[in-house]
């Protein structure tokens, strides 16, 4: 062997991800600590809360240590000394990025001053998020690599902007609200909505997972400072990242307007939202009313002052309230154009119809005719049809509209005459729309009568914003030049939803009310104020029990929708294995209509008599009974086979493993059948699986057990004829059973005697 072929082993060599020698002996960096202090505390007075605790994953334990140091020129040196001690102990060093008045204080209400705004970017595409922030908020003062890594291996960052002066009093709340808003728009860490949220100090050591890394400054623009009011406007104007969407801004920290106007909010972050967030929402609400001409400027300012006095505890100073109102007014005018200002006198003279109790009792004039009887859709009313995707909602809606356009009753719902209908649908493209319409088997007389009365749009790629409403108005007037339509239908809400200038989503009550009042009603008022409106909407994923108990709770989005409509229909399958759909109907302008069971047969929707369903559909009932028996046998058979192979299961684990296997259906279906079998005594339970080699389980009942179940034991036996060696089989005996009366777990008296309820013997 030549010298060239000899490989010398160096024990200090860097293999794979082993730490380098430089990483093994990291020391705190006083220069970075001083730079951090300059950005976060230089203008503040008071005490800095400092905390250290052992980073996870090192295999060592220790108690947290808290100290408070003066925010003066000596702070960087004191913090460096503390960081040296913490580094030797394997502890991380954190500070609350604000000052307090007394030692021992560290709650949100204790923070008296803050001078920097931070966002913690700890997931996803870190580089793209930093670029988005820089583009809309300007270059940050400080960028810190926190020491952590994302799943993709990118460095997690803390991004800081230094304020030109410290935020105190109510401005601290605004700083925290801005930290939360920024985080929501880039999917950062929203915990920084709280003033007392601690953060790592650059120049100290990160120890998580046993790997030492420096928490280090990547960029420091020492002269970069921002004004709080200007920065707030930039944050408000910054859109959420495209990959995150508007839903990200609908965070728990954004209160609903109805709650804001009626709920007191205290300082110190003691409530669901801060005083700043509540005041901003209330001021914005009254500014929109003034801008639209619904109230005068004086009335708007009076309403803002009344909110401040009644709901903010303690109230804001009037100069602070006026400054925030002026800032939001300027921003609103920039976004929405010149206001339509109404004088106080004009507002007082506004026409508001009102009638005495006696006049209403004496009015015997005939009621207006229903657009769709009985009271399903009344003049100026709103009907919401909700259903899960693929439940047949659009098909049902098309058939309903075709019959109404033909003047023919449909499932008991009848129009007074052939109706003119504009169907604005935003899901199905033109060619697939015509294919679906041609496939619907309607009576030829219905088709002939509805040909010109029902106008349908192909899939639209627009929002019902101001431009979208104008386009819809023009299209409706073009197709119905001789008279306004009787019904305007929008399908679905989600594809055309416009939450207004605040960009709220369907889950935001304020955004939903804006869409209903400023978009849907504006569209109706522009073409036919007495027309009925039908909105198709999706439902949430709820279990069948929840849907049965309160069907209309299943509607997706904000609760404001349910409070706004005059009638609603929820369509769902009571049994996922059967084609029948159930219609739950809610009316605000008429007597209740009972639920309906409908099915599509021969291409047409028909009503099924739910009270005598079994008499009419004996074959279906028999198939259902046979299917239950089949699932009974399959479940017991699988349990026996799996036990013979050495495997026992809890109810949940069995359902998850054998989901959609053997025709058993989904997880919840399997668990329901197991529960029934346990009640009937076909399945019992083994609480302690250790004698059978099973791990301890936290299940309420334990492992499933059936009669005659055996499992391989520790011994071995030889076949008398072939000599084949096989494990000794051990009988699995139950320890508990499910009480058929209470559903509780009771001990088995004799595990070798399998007792069934009398009605199951």
3-state secondary structure 556-582: CCCCHHHHHCCEEEEEECCCCCCCCEE
Q: Which of 662, 614, 611, 616 is nearest to 639 (CA)?
A: 662
Tell me which residue has tokens 């005495």.
Answer: 356
Q: Which of 101, 96, 48 is nearest to 73 (CA)?
A: 48
Q: Are 132 and 10 a contacting pair, CB within 8 Å?
A: no
Q: Rounded to whole angstroms, what are the CA distances from 320 to 165, 276, 315, 316, 317?
A: 16, 11, 10, 6, 5
Longest dimension (CA), the chain: 118
Instruction: Quote the pTM value.
Output: 0.41
Q: Rounded to whole angstroms, what are the CA distances from 318 to 296, 306, 324?
A: 19, 11, 10
Q: Residue 255 has what pLDDT? A: 64
Report the alpha-carbon distance of residue 745 to residue 651 in Å, rounded.
Answer: 14
Report the alpha-carbon distance of residue 726 to residue 744 in Å, rounded.
Answer: 39
Exposed, middle or buried, 65 (CB in 10 Å: 0-12/13-18/19+)? middle
Tokens representing residue 186 in the block: 């880039």
Tokens representing residue 5 in the block: 């072929």
Count CB-CB contacts under 10 A for residue 686: 25
Q: Residue 609 has what pLDDT? A: 73
Phi-psi region of 271 (alpha: psi -120 to 50; beta: other; left: phi over 0): beta
Q: Are 87 and 204 a contacting pair, CB within 8 Å?
A: yes
Report residue 740: phi and psi, to 5°: -70, -15
Q: Which of 279, 280, 299, 274 is nearest to 289 (CA)?
A: 299
Phi-psi region of 335 (alpha: psi -120 to 50; beta: other; left: phi over 0): alpha
User: What residue ranges of the chain have pLDDT lower than 50?
Assistant: 1-16, 18-24, 245-253, 347, 349-350, 612, 614-616, 761
Q: Which of 434, 701, 334, 413 is nearest to 585 (CA)?
A: 413
């Amino acid at each position: 062997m030549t010298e060239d072929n000899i490989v010398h082993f160096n024990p200090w060599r860097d293999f794979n991800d082993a730490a380098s020698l430089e990483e093994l002996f990291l020391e705190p960096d006083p220069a970075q600590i001083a730079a951090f202090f300059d950005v976060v505390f230089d203008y503040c007075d008071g005490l800095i809360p400092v905390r250290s605790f052992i980073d996870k994953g090192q295999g060592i334990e220790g108690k947290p240590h808290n100290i408070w140091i003066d925010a003066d020129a000596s702070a960087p040196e004191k913090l460096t000394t503390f960081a040296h001690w913490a580094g030797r102990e394997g502890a991380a060093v954190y500070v609350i990025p604000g000052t307090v008045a007394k030692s021992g204080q560290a709650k949100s209400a204790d923070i008296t001053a803050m001078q920097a705004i931070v966002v913690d970017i700890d997931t996803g595409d870190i580089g793209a998020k930093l670029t988005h922030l820089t583009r809309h908020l300007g270059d940050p003062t400080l960028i810190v690599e926190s020491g952590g890594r994302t799943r993709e291996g990118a460095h997690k960052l803390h991004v800081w902007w230094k304020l030109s002066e410290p935020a105190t009093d109510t401005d601290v709340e605004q700083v925290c609200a801005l930290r939360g808003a920024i985080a929501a728009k880039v999917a950062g860490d929203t915990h920084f909505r709280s003033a007392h949220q601690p953060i790592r100090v650059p120049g100290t050591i990160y120890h998580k997972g046993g790997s030492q890394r420096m928490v280090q400054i990547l960029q420091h623009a020492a002269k970069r400072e921002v004004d709080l009011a200007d920065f707030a406007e930039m944050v408000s104007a910054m859109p959420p990242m495209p990959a995150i969407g508007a839903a990200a801004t609908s965070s728990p920290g954004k209160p609903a307007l109805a709650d804001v106007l009626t709920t007191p909010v205290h300082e110190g972050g003691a409530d669901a939202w801060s005083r700043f967030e509540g005041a901003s929402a209330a001021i914005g609400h009254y500014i929109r009313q003034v801008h639209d001409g619904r109230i005068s400027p004086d009335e708007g300012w009076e309403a803002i002052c009344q909110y401040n006095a009644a709901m903010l505890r303690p109230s804001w100073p009037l100069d602070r309230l006026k400054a925030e109102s002026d800032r939001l007014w300027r921003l609103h005018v920039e976004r929405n154009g010149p206001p339509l200002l109404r004088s106080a006198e004009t507002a007082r003279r506004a026409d508001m119809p009102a009638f005495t109790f006696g006049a209403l009792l004496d009015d015997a004039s005939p009621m207006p005719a229903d657009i769709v009887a009985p009271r399903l859709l009344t003049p100026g009313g709103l009907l919401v049809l909700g259903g899960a995707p693929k439940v047949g909602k659009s098909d049902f809606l098309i058939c309903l509209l075709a019959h109404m356009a033909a003047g023919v009753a449909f499932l008991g719902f009848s129009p007074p005459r052939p109706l003119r209908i504009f169907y604005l649908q935003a899901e199905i493209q033109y060619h697939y729309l015509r294919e679906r319409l041609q496939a619907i088997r309607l009576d030829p007389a219905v088709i002939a009568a509805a040909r010109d009365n029902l106008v349908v749009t192909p899939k639209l790629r627009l929002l019902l914003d101001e431009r979208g409403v104008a386009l819809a108005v023009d299209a409706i007037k073009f197709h119905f030049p001789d008279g306004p339509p009787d019904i305007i239908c929008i399908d679905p809400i989600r594809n055309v939803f416009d939450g207004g200038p605040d960009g709220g989503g369907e889950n935001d009550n304020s955004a939903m009310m804006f869409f209903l009042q400023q978009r849907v009603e504006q569209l109706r008022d522009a073409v036919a104020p007495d027309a009925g409106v039908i909105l198709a909407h999706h439902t949430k994923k709820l279990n069948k029990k929840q849907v049965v108990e309160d069907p209309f709770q299943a509607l997706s989005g904000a609760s404001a929708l349910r409070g706004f409509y005059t009638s609603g229909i929820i369509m769902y399958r009571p049994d996922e294995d059967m084609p029948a759909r159930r219609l739950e109907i809610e009316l605000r302008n008429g007597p209740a209509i009972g639920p309906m069971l409908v099915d599509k047969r021969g291409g047409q929707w028909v009503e099924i008599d739910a009270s005598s369903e079994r008499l009419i559909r004996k074959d279906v009932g028999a198939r259902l009974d046979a299917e239950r028996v089949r699932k009974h046998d399959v479940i017991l058979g699988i349990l026996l086979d799996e036990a013979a192979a050495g495997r026992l299961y809890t109810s949940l684990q069995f359902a998850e493993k054998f989901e959609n296997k053997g025709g058993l259906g989904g997880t919840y279906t399997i668990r329901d059948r197991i529960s029934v079998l346990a009640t009937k005594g076909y399945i019992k339970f083994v609480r302690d699986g250790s004698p059978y080699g099973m791990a301890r389980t936290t299940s309420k009942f334990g492992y499933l057990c059936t009669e005659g179940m055996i499992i391989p034991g520790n011994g071995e036996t030889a076949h008398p004829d072939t000599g084949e060696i096989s494990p000794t089989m051990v009988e699995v005996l139950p320890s508990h059973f499910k009480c058929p009366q209470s559903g509780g777990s009771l001990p088995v008296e004799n595990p070798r005697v399998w007792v069934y309820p009398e009605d199951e013997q």
